[in-house]
Structure 1
Amino acid sequence: MQSVGRFLAGFTELGLMLIALSVIAVVVFGPDIPFIGGITEGFLGIVKQLGDAGLVGLIGVGILAWLVTKKA
């Protein structure tokens, strides 16, 4: 069970690094980069939906932050 938790934690960390890299690439090179532009649009859409949700969105962000920072 611990190995599955470590795998999921590593996979989540890799995903977060890829999102950060895609945001940096869009800022540096512009939104016309194949595949990466869609990632940032999707990420910004999720952020907008959470912002529009008010308190429920804030609770969702808190849960996501807790899941990301929780050590396996």
Structure 2
Amino acid sequence: MNNIKAWIGDFTGIVVSLIALGVVAGVVFGDVPFVGGIASNFADTVNMLGDAGAVGALALAIIVGLYD
């Protein structure tokens, strides 16, 4: 079971790193074909959480808690 948890943790770390790399590539190089608009999707998600008010803040707290 610990082996599976470690594998999932490693995989999640890789995915988060790839997302961060995509955001940086989108900001630095503009419209990068292989990125697929990660920065705009991230901005839309942040706007959606902001529009949701308290529920958005709760969802953000849960998401941050999952990454800790």
**Shift >4 Å, 4+ stretches:** none
8 Å Cα contact 1:19/1:40 also seen in 2 = no
Give the corresponding residue for 1:29: 29
Q: Deviations over 1:17-68 (max 9, x none)?
A: 11111111111111x2113142222222222111111111111111111110
2:37 counterpart SS class = helix
Give the corresponding residue for 1:6: 6
Q: Distance in 1 between matches of 2:27 and 2:6?
A: 32
Of structures 1 and 2, the one with the larger relative CO (CA 8 A, separation 6+) is: 1
Q: Give the length in aligned residue pairs.
A: 68
Identify unmatched segments of 5+ residues in structure 2: none
1:36 counterpart SS class = coil
Q: TM-score if structure 1 supplies the norm length?
A: 0.80
In the alignment, is residue 52 of structure 1 matched against residue 27 of structure 2?
Answer: no
Q: How high is the sequence identity, in percent, across the aligned residues?
A: 44
> Which has the higher mean CA deviation after the structures are superposed, 36-45 or 57-66?
36-45
